Amino acid sequence: MSKIPEVRTEVNFVDYKDAYAAAQAVIEANRCLFCEDAPCIQACPTAIDIPQFIRKIATENVRGSARTIFDSNILGMSCARVCPVEVLCVGSCVFNKLDVPPIQIGKLQRYATDLAYDKGWKFYEAGPDTGFSVAIVGAGPAGLAAAHDLRRFGHAVTMYEKRAVLGGLNSTGVAPYKMRADRAAAEVDWILDIGGIDVQTGVEVGEDVFWSELEAKHDAIFVAIGLGPDKHLKVPGTELEGVHGAVDWIEQMKLGEVSLEGVERVVVVGGGNTAVDVVREALQLGVRAVTMLYRGTEEAMSGYAHEWKAAKIEGARALWQGLPVAYLGEDRVKGVRCVRMDDDKKPIEGSEVVVGADLVLLAIGQGKLGDMVSSLDGIAVEWGVMQTEESGATGRAGYFAGGDCANGGKEVVNAAAEGKRAAKAINGYLMQGTLTLPAEGF
């Protein structure tokens, strides 16, 4: 059982999307056109057979529907909550072109997978023992997806995770109004329930165990180490109390408590999805004034437009084309001095302004962990990102990689797809080119 602390700030959040009741799910499912060559499938990184799982809900075969989802994506429960469906499956639904509301695929997926969890339906078991052993470094979405399928192939699996908590960003980083850490823990338990996955927590490669030891113990290694700590700007005042990395702050809020006593103004630096998430989190925790400070324009921000639109409705403000040059305050931060940028991203002389802030959250990206594998001959690393083939294979025999450490930082659903793909490739590598797919394929 994955252990999540009971006292957590995140329990103050409520789901931002209501779950469907059975009747609502059937009505919505019956709107689907069950398209041939469905664009919604093509938009899904795990290629779930969406019309098929929806058809099964329409015919009240929810167990079959859940099976269809999990066959493609064992993290189907969390993906139903955290996927940016507006730019993936739902955004591709043919109804968008007909000026009709698209099918609520995420909510239907949540309905089927939640029922599977509630009813305790089991679909998978480990394959016959092959005698091979695989190390998985990192127990986030990619590692978990790979572990599950490797067990289905019959390989022994050991997961090495540096944290005490499993689940990776699903447990530590997902906005709690989308999914709370206890739900991520339920998913970890659901996946580990296949049995035979040895989980070693508090073990960091390079500190507690070395690649050479893993090579001696295992026949293949899947590297799924995610991303590193928050990046910081090199400006005066970084050491002030109240200046934090956003990902670190979110983790504290999800797995423990953050204090917002005396915090009336938050400045979030960045314009990506983490920035937008943390803006909404601060607002929903009751902070009066939350300002996103981004060096580019609103049109250029990389955060999803639908999420930013929701943030604005919740009261978010923004200062576009602003770059912090100093954090102000004695011991604790009181404001951010920033310079305005022109359209060529050059500072405009004499344009400095000060934005009041009792808390500054830096969401300008996370470090890459390529250094962790740089001692391994044959593994290419570019800008900190591990380079792999489509299958996840690296240039070093027996080493595969997937998830954020190999894609640079994408969605949970990408990590799930890459973990599954790597499991298949690892199986092929171990079985000398003969894939041992079960009859239904996976």
By beta-carbon proximity to ligand SF4, the closer residue of 39 and 272 is 39
Nearer to ligand SF4, 94 or 319 (CB): 94
Backbone angles phi, psi at 46, to 5 degrees: -95, 0
Nearest approach, Cβ of 44 to ligand SF4 (angstroms)? Answer: 10
Query: Encoding tokens for residue 269?
Result: 């630096």
**Residue (98 or 353) nearer to ligand SF4, CB:** 98
Phi and psi, residue 269, nearest 5° = -95, 120
Give me the least distance between CB of 68 and ligand SF4, in Å please.
13
Q: Name the residue nearer to ligand SF4 (CB basis): 54 or 126.
A: 54
Work out how close the CB of 441 gets to ligand SF4 at its nearest, in angstroms, rounded to a whole number. 21
CB of 18 to ligand SF4, least distance (A): 19
For ligand SF4, the closer of residues 11 and 35 by Cβ is 35
What the block records as the tokens of 186 is 């339920």
Residues that bind ligand SF4 (CB under 6 A): 32-35, 38-40, 50-51, 54, 93-95, 103, 105
Q: Are 108 and 24 in contact (CB under 8 A)?
A: no
Residues in Cβ contact with 234 at an 8 Å cutoff, skipping those fewer than 6 apart: none
260 Cβ contact list (under 8 Å, min separation 6): 282, 285, 286, 287, 359
Least distance to ligand SF4, CB of residue 132, Å: 39
* Shortest distance in whole angstroms from residue 78 CB to ligand SF4: 20
As a whole number of angstroms, the distance between CA 265 and CA 246 comes to 15
Residue nearer to ligand SF4 on the CB measure, 11 or 98: 98
Q: Which of 243, 237, 205 is nearest to 224 (CA)?
A: 205
Type of residue numbered 226:
G
Rg of the Cα atoms in the chain: 23
> Partners of 359 in the beta sheet?
266
CB of 82 to ligand SF4, least distance (A): 19
Q: What does the H/E/C string look like for 139-190? A: CCHHHHHHHHHHHHHCCEEEEEECCCCCCCHHHHCCCCCCCCHHHHHHHHHH
Q: Rounded to whole angstroms, how far apart are CA atoms 47 and 329? A: 51
Give min distance, CB of 66 to ligand SF4, in A: 17
**Element holding 28 (H helix, E strand):** helix 22-29
Residues 6+ apart with CB under 8 A from 114: 19, 77, 80
Q: Would you say 34 or 210 has its CB closer to ligand SF4?
A: 34
Q: Which is nearer to ligand SF4, 95 or 121 (CB)?
A: 95
- Token pair belonging to 327: 């954090």
